[in-house]
Chain A
Amino acid sequence: MTRQRGDVVVETRGLCMHFGGVRAVDEVDFTLFDRELRCLIGPNGAGKSTFFKCLTGQLTPTAGDVMIRGQAMTGAEPFEIASLGVGIKTQVPNVFDGLSAEENIWISARRWHDDRRARTLTAETIERLRLGDIRRTQLGRLAHGQRQWVELGMVVAAEPWLVLLDEPAAGMTHEETYRTAELIEEINKTAALIVVEHDMQFIRMISRQVTLFHEGGILMEDTMDAISADKRAREVYLGHRA
């Protein structure tokens, strides 16, 4: 089966994640098309990360369905989602702290390729993300931004067709943020993306279509400009930030 631009790659229907009385995600219907680049925004506690965790199998939704490329993946294990060819970066940096940057990326590439190809891919990724200086450094010794960057390297090295990033620019310097935006544009040439982000400037750099979360549900779905102009959206989010 060949994938075409315009195919639905992620779909949720009536997705709910309730923690006791807290409706972190409530009845969310969401659709992402192939090669799309979608930003999820919303105030703190809106349910973005919870929604993200339901997509990546870190949480089993209390109700509703998650479909990835038409396959029902509700309640699947994270490795099963990733094994579809989905690249994932969580909000809290998740890296192999005791291992070198090179080993981190090799582990990712080796999931899909034999050792020889994995080493080539690792070298390419290190070059592409300009990690040459720290390739042999233990990740635990690196700054927060660099560790995030290596995590992005792990995502890229797996050559995913769908990429899910939760706050990729958090804790990065301006320079790093700018380069992350560039990288996201580049990834988007071969993959669809969902990017959860807080940094408005960053969203403006990359965004086409934006989904605004509020109190566990989708409040609006439109371009960034339209959302900025909307009164309700400004109240819940933009005004909230100003």
Chain B
Amino acid sequence: MNSSLLRQMRSTFFFALLGVVFMFAAPQVLQLFTIINLTTAIALAVLALSLALIWGYGGILCFGQVAFFGLGAYVYTISAINFGGSTWAVLMAVLVTSAFAAALGYFIFYGRVSDVYLGVITLTVTLIFFSLIRRTSGPEYKIGNALLGGFNGVSSPPINLPWDSGSFLFPEHVFYVAMAVLILCYVFVGWLVNTKFGRVCVAIRENELRAELLGYDTRLYKLGIFTIGAGIAALGGVLFCNGVGRITPDVFSLYNAALTIIWVIVGGRGTLIGPIGATFALFYLTSALGGQSLLNNNLVLGIILIIFVLLVPKGVAPTVVDWIASRRKKTPRRARRRRGARAEGME
């Protein structure tokens, strides 16, 4: 790693460090119930991170990121039930989901499907999963030893220590695993977007034709970032079914698909910490709202979305960055002007 890359990643390391502090401090001060709840929020944050990568940096507006998240959760659960352990199941979840995304992405990118249709296709795939898996309630829908369970879903075996399949982790330990996965994914993506690959992906987002005319096979880059994003979403799915204890087809609902987009819009495209923060904030807002019946959850989310699209179109994080940058710029200019005035006075 060269020094300029490290400099680029300074803020990434800063937030990662905050994450580590949170990871070890939270269980000391928060109640177990909250910690278990947090695990689910962390899983969703990994999902948000994956969309922040492929939409925010890759410019690929995937409406069905949640399909990869849900697929990862299902593959993990079914594999863990069959293998009787979680280690290979996690690997399977990431590999199968990435392979699925690569196949889907191949048709989309090499077929030069337009951005709008990409959104339609990925959303359709999500909804197909939703309705297909809902219909799998009979005993005949079985993969190995795992019953798919239709709309009731399947209960997910918890993660165990890699060297001992009998040693299941307790929910408070799953929290550490989830936090560690989030932090590692965050640093990985923060690194990725600063590599040649990441920078070319950003260039393609800015102007695909220009990137092609410079000699980059843009289809390959888009396929690459799409596949990596799907793999990260799958990891989020693994954490999610661990946090909740089961996985149901509801994960593929239109509501969840839309929610993922909202996190990235609110947090801000082109940053990673923004969508992660927005996920936590909206997760707590919706669970707070869930406890009362005065305001409808969807209505509140809708209003938040409208407010952001109209008033903070860039999202929170980029707006804050702009604000800091403009303040930084203003100070020396004002100082310069003052100095200029003084010079005139002397003459």
Binding site for B on A (CB under 8 A): 56, 58, 77-79, 82-83, 88, 90, 94-99, 103-104, 106-108, 110-112, 115, 154, 158
Contacts and interface: CB of A to CB of B under 8 A. Distances in A.
Given A103-B199, A107-B200, A107-B203, A95 B215 contact: no
A94 B209 contact: yes
B39 interface: no
Given A95-B207, A107-B200, A115-B196, A90 B213 contact: yes
B31 interface: no
B213 A88 contact: yes
A107 B213 contact: no
Nearest to A94: B210
B111 to A, nearest CB: 13
Contacts of B216: 79, 111
Nearest to A98: B206
B209 A58 contact: yes
A90 B203 contact: no
Nearest to B205: A98
B218 interface: yes
Interface in B194-246: 196, 199-200, 202-203, 205-207, 209-218
Given A103-B199, A115-B2, A115-B196, A78 B212 contact: yes
9 contacts: A78-B209, A79-B215, A94-B209, A94-B213, A96-B206, A98-B202, A106-B199, A111-B215, A158-B214
Interface string B101-133: 000000000000000000000000000000000
A90 B213 CA distance: 9
A83 B215 contact: yes
Contacts of B211: 96, 107
A115 B2 CA distance: 10
A107 B214 contact: yes
A97 B200 contact: no
A97 B202 CA distance: 11
B196 A110 contact: yes
Interface string B16-34: 0000000000000000000
Nearest to A99: B206
Contacts, number: 65
Which of A58, A82, A97 has most chain B Cβ within 10 Å? A82
Nearest to A116: B2
Which of A96, A104, A106 has most chain B Cβ within 10 Å? A96
B104 to A, nearest CB: 21
Given A107-B199, A107-B203, A95 B217 contact: no
A107 B200 CA distance: 7
B interface, over-half SS: helix
Contact of A79 (B203, B207, B217): B217
Which of A78, A88, A98, A154 has most chain B Cβ within 10 Å? A78
B212 A95 contact: no
B203 A99 contact: yes
Contact of A96 (B196, B203, B217, B218): B203
Contact of B213 (A56, A98, A115): A56
Interface string B125-159: 00000000000000000000000000000000000
A111 to B, nearest CB: 5
Nearest to B196: A110
Nearest to A89: B213
Contacts of A154: 210, 214
B14 to A, nearest CB: 22
B262 to A, nearest CB: 23
A112 B200 CA distance: 13
Nearest to A57: B212
A111 B212 contact: no
A103 B8 CA distance: 13
Contacts of A108: 214
Nearest to A119: B4
What 10 A-B pairs have minimum CB-CB distances, sorted nearest first? A82-B215, A96-B206, A94-B210, A78-B212, A83-B215, A88-B213, A79-B212, A107-B203, A111-B215, A98-B206
Contacts of A97: 206-207
Contacts of A99: 202-203, 206
Contacts of A94: 207, 209-210, 213
A95 B211 CA distance: 9
Given A107-B199, A115-B2, A158 B206 contact: no
Nearest to A78: B212
A97 B209 CA distance: 13
Contacts of B205: 98
Nearest to A139: B206
Contact of A77 (B196, B206, B212): B212
A229 to B, nearest CB: 37
A234 B217 CA distance: 43
B293 to A, nearest CB: 44
B213 A82 contact: yes
A158 B215 CA distance: 10
A79 B200 CA distance: 13
A112 B205 CA distance: 20
Contacts of A82: 212-215
Which of B206, B213, B215 has most chain A Cβ within 10 Å? B213
A158 B214 CA distance: 8
Contact of B214 (A98, A103, A111): A111
Given A82-B212, A107-B199, 15 more contacts: A77-B212, A77-B217, A78-B213, A79-B216, A82-B215, A90-B209, A95-B207, A96-B211, A98-B206, A103-B203, A107-B211, A110-B196, A110-B200, A111-B214, A115-B196
